[in-house]
Structure 1
Amino acid sequence: MTKNRVAVVTGAAAGIGLGIARRFALDGYATAMLDIEENQLKAAADELRAEGATVLALKANVASRAEIEAAYATIRSELGPISIVLPNAGIAPMVPFEHMSVEQWQQVIDVNLTGVFHTIQAALPDMAAAGWGRVVSISSQAGQSGGMCMAHYSASKGGVISLTKGLARELAALGITVNTVAPSVCETPQMHRAMEAGLFPLEAILPMIPISRAGQPDEIASACAFLASDDAAYVTGQVLAVNGGMYM
């Protein structure tokens, strides 16, 4: 595997994003970590540097094209052209559809779907120039089967899945593969916050998962590592469900 490549991970301060960033950084990729949580991001990056990884931590809101463009300019200056993009940043508020405001709908779409658009499109010139690129987004089982009180989240993640398929067809001729990993229940700070708020009854959900436990961020990261590798050169347009069998 060639390691002189630059990987960009969004939502990298915690949870799945941090798991992905950690895997790529410790595998030897120069890894740019983007998030809006600046202090948490800096602490995570410092820990990885202490382990010998090459990482760059940048505050950026994926919903803002200007912030993504600015972050990418810094990445290119400090690390080099972007080869691998891992759009992970997302929000998952729980709101019954009948009470969902236009603003709540739009915020989720802006971050979870339009943010993926920005993150990929802004990196496209580097990949096209190299004739090689990998896009591995994080979608969700909710985008495949729906989620209660999460219509906006489900729609955004379903959009990521459809975007993956469309881009896979369009970008293959440029040497770029586009795939998505779809987790279900995963051990993250966001999951624990929802449990503490009484919004996520894990004990009721686990019986629906054949592998009856929550997934781990490093398990999602392993799937991403494969799809971003040279070993996955003939894999594109796919939804890799890392979900313990919750959705088949």
Structure 2
Amino acid sequence: MPARVPDRRFEGRVAVVTGAAGGIGSGIVRRLAAEGARIVATDRADGLDETVAKEVGDGAGDWVTVAADLSSSEGAEQVVATAIDRFGRLDVLVNNAGGGIIKPFLDHTPETMRETVDRNLWTTVHCCRAALPHMVAAGYGRIVNVGADSVRNGLYEHAMYNAAKGGVHGLTTGLAREFAQAGITVNTVAPTGTDTPTVLSRPPDAVERYRKTAALIPIGRFATVEEVASAVAYLAAEEAGFVTGQVVSVNGGTAML
């Protein structure tokens, strides 16, 4: 039975979701829109408009898409400016843009290492810098970063990806403390392996990596996109106002406190 979606707790709120064209990002769009958020969805991948239209559906809140490269400050500023111009406010920023070039560390090139950091860390840094002045002025904000449980468990062939996502985890705690008294919370959701369409397609070059990842999960399966989106939605909501600076693992017990 599908999980019950809470009432429309994002009614009147505006949420920017990065990396929204598929996988976890489209699931986050679906969840926030179902709870009443007006959505600014951004990605550099093709098919963004079609994906968001499908996920938001008829009768949901207003939405707009922005094709942008968030590894540059200009791209991030364009997205935030769209939110302010279209809706007059920005309440929630979900930094989901990412995606690693996953390979053995010594197989990386300077270019693939740079791209992994650009996709995961710099996208988050630039979007936070663009969004935070508006949140400070409003006295309210929720920033939810999508990190990675592999930062904690040292997952197979993930060293460079972990370096980038580890930076996101560190940025989370620093920003959370700096902006705690400005009405802004900053948290990270750190998923383990998640059944996105790409994962479910089981590309041949990744089958062994998926097997090793699944073997680490006590619950015995990957997360669903909906399970990750649920954690994001909680931290993005007004009710989570006393939760900040946390890395919330959605990991089936892979690492336990």
Deviations 1:166-220 (A, max 9, x none): 1111010111000000000101133245x32232333443332111111111111
Question: Can you give the 5+ residue segments of structure 1 that lack an aligned partner in the other structure?
Answer: none
Tell me which of 192, 209, 214 is aligned to 2:217. Answer: 209
Pair 1:52-2:68 in alignment: no
Q: Is the 8 A contact 2:43 2:97 kept in 1?
A: yes
Pair 1:163-2:171 in alignment: yes
**Given the superposition, is the C-alpha separation of residues 91 and 123 from structure 1 closer, same or farther in structure 2, using an over 3 Å criterion?**
same
C-alpha separation in 2, matches of 1:11 and 1:205: 23
Question: What's 1:42 paired with?
Answer: 49
Count of residue pairs the alignment pairs up: 246
Deviation at 1:69, TM superposition (A): 1.1
Specify the code of the residue in structure 1 equivalent to 2:113.
Answer: W
Q: Scaled by the length of structure 1, what TM-score is found?
A: 0.94
C-alpha separation in 1, matches of 2:110 and 2:216: 32
Specify the code of the residue in structure 2 equivalent to 1:46.
Answer: A
Q: Is the 8 A contact 1:191 1:200 kept in 2?
A: no
C-alpha separation in 2, matches of 1:84 and 1:234: 16
Q: Scaled by the length of structure 2, what TM-score is found?
A: 0.91
Question: Can you give the 5+ residue segments of structure 2 that lack an aligned partner in the other structure?
Answer: 1-8
Specify the code of the residue in structure 1 equivalent to 2:59.
Answer: G
SS in 2 for 1:32: strand
**Superposition CA RMSD, Å:** 1.5
Pair 1:197-2:197 in alignment: no
Deviation at 1:49, TM superposition (A): 4.7
Deviations 1:13-68 (A, max 9, x none): 11001001110011101011101113x21111222453222221111111021122
Tell me which of 229, 233, 238 is aligned to 2:237. Answer: 229
C-alpha separation in 1, matches of 2:175 and 2:54: 35
Pair 1:123-2:145 in alignment: no
Q: Is the 8 A contact 1:48 1:55 kept in 2?
A: no
Specify the code of the residue in structure 2 equivalent to 1:61.
Answer: D
SS in 2 for 1:244: coil
SS in 2 for 1:56: strand
Specify the code of the residue in structure 2 equivalent to 1:13.
Answer: A
**Given the superposition, is the C-alpha separation of residues 178 and 49 from structure 1 closer, same or farther in structure 2, using an over 3 Å criterion?**
closer
Question: What's 2:185 paired with?
Answer: 177
Specify the code of the residue in structure 1 equivalent to 2:112.
Answer: Q
Q: Is the 8 A contact 1:143 1:159 kept in 2?
A: no
Q: Is the 8 A contact 1:177 1:236 kept in 2?
A: yes
